[in-house]
Structure 1
Amino acid sequence: MNGNLVITIGRECGSAGRLIGKMLAERLGVKFYDKELLTLAAKQSGMCKELFESHDEKPTNSFLYSLVMDTYSMGYTTSSFMDMPLNHKVFLAQFDTIKKLALEESCVIVGRCADYALAEYPSMISVFISGNEEDKIRHFAEAQNVTPEKAKDIIAKTDKKRANYYNYYSNKKWGDAKSYHLCVNSSITGYEGAVDLILEFIRIKEKNLGTKKG
């Protein structure tokens, strides 16, 4: 592949997408970014980390979104950035951080519409991790030490928030197979199996690209 390899991971709550992403990064010997991305974006933009955490994967209103995308597509200056609404600044700073990461290093990035930010980046592979409901509830309940009933409620609300965010900022649909290069059901593969499958997909893609070049 040309450039650094970046694996972006979308995930259903409770599917162990974060854990799978972390295991994948360890197998590849690259850095892993989830909440770490918020810290990095805050550092690079000079804005406080709490702002990124409070807006993390949350959709904004349609009017603000149109302003964001118009500005992003046309480019922006430092002065115009300073005059933007707060949500606008957070959105652009996070997307800029994702793009900079792709240019600097190979890595695994979880969530935050990273696949959309890197849509034109040739060495990006987008993955979506799903799972069967009973397995997601069990995993989340154990990981967060809550009851299955509480886990089910949190999972539903979290997935709705993530879907709204992704559908808003991208031209694709969250969780739809057409929106990603690879979709994996962790209930079927298991966590290690999911990592193995993603690694095999990377190998096949690299081989296919090499064949086309040859």
Structure 2
Amino acid sequence: METIITIGREFGSGGREIGEQVADRFGIKCYDKELIARAAKESGFCEEMIETHDERPTNSFMYNLVMDTYSFGYNSSSFVDMPISHKVFLAQFDAIKNLAKEGPCIIVGRCADYALSDYPNVVNLFITGNEKDKIARIRARFADLTSDEKARDMMVKKDKQRRSYYNYYSSKKWGHCDSYDLTINSSILGIEDTVNFIVDFVNKFEASKRG
């Protein structure tokens, strides 16, 4: 196993669960919320700050400042004055690259496919799902959501945040099929067979690399 797998996902699609199961099948690590702790450790920021701004949209007029600062690093004067949300993005961006240097793994969300766009051994996936299944999964996860409507409201809000974050920081469009190597509706096969499908796809990807 040499491949790094990135997973973009709609809220409630089972993307995290799928990532964890695929990681278990390949005997590698899956990073989702774990990336927060890693980014905090490497950047010196507290985990609470990173979690608060994790995959949150930001003001587009700051884009050039972020990209310029990334070129100069954390010690630049521009970085000191940068909004917290941008500092969090840079911390996670670097953490993702460092994880990739350590070997094969699965990274969920956080523009990982964009951060690793120069890496040849990466498979970029996007997990979607039917609304009914996503709402049921969200309600099972959050006991305080007492109706489908409340679950749907959370789903719409989370997906809007993820879309804004991804579209802002990457050069691609969140959820668009041409932004990924493979887009899968987890409602078609269910979680277990979606995992099997991804494992087979990655195995064939690695075989093609070996020629």
Q: TM-score, normalised by structure 2?
A: 0.93
2:86 to 85, 88, 93: 88
Question: 1:140, 1:151 within 8 Å by CA — same for their partners in 2?
Answer: yes
C-alpha displacement at 1:125, in angstroms? Answer: 0.8
Task: Report how far residue 58 of structure 1 moved.
Answer: 0.8
For structure 2, list consecutive stretches of 5 or more residues without a partner in the other structure: none
Residue 59 of structure 2 aligns with which residue?
Answer: 61
Deviation at 1:113, TM superposition (A): 0.5
In the alignment, is the contact (CA less than 8 A) between 2:3 and 2:202 conserved in 1? no
Partner of 2:197: 197
The answer as to whether partners of 1:8 and 1:125 remain within 8 angstroms in 2 is yes
SS at match of 1:78: coil
The corresponding residue for 1:40 is: 38
Distance in 1 (CA, whole Å) between partners of 2:78 and 2:64 is 15
CA contact 2:23–2:106 (8 Å) conserved in 1: yes
Q: Which residue of 2 aligns with 1:176?
A: 176
Contact persistence 1:81–1:89 (CA under 8 A): no
Q: State the shift of 1:198 in Å.
A: 0.9
Q: String of CA shifts for 1:93-139, please: whole Å, max 9, x gaps.
A: 11000000000122111110000000111111110000011111111
TM-aligned CA deviation for residue 182 of structure 1: 0.7
Q: Deviations over 1:162-214 (max 9, x none)?
A: 11111111111111110001111100011011111111111111122222xxx
> 8 Å contact 2:3–2:105 — kept in the other structure?
yes
Matched, 1:139 2:133: no
Q: Deviations over 1:35-89 (max 9, x none)?
A: 11011100111111111111110121112222112232x3426344752413332
SS of aligned partner of 1:89: helix
Kindly report the root-mean-square deviation, in angstroms, between the aligned alpha carbons of the 2 structures: 1.5
Q: Tell whether 2:124 aligns with 1:109.
A: no
CA change 1:77–1:39 in 2 (3 A) is: closer
The answer to whether the 8 A contact 2:4-2:100 is kept is yes
Q: Point out the more displaced range, 175-184 or 59-68.
A: 59-68
Task: Tell me which amino acid in the other structure corresponds to 1:69.
Answer: M
Give the one of 68, 73, 78 matched to 2:75: 78
5+ long unaligned stretches in structure 1: none
Seen in structure 2, the aligned counterparts of structure 1 residues 177 and 82 have a Cα distance that, compared at 3 Å, is closer
- Of 129-138 and 141-150, more deviation after overlay is shown by 141-150
Structure 1 segments, 4+ long, off by >3 Å, are 79-82
State the match for 1:118 in structure 2: 116
Cα distance in 2 for residues equivalent to 1:199 and 1:81: 43
Q: Where do residues 138-157 of structure 1 align in structure 2 (5 Å cutoff)? A: 138-145=136-143, 146=145, 147-157=147-157
Counterpart amino acid of residue 10 in structure 1: G
Residues 9 and 111 in structure 1, CA contact (< 8 A), matched pair in contact too: yes
Give the distance between the partners of 2:157 and 2:76, measured in 1 at CA: 37
How many residue pairs match? The answer is 208
Seen in structure 2, the aligned counterparts of structure 1 residues 194 and 83 have a Cα distance that, compared at 3 Å, is: same
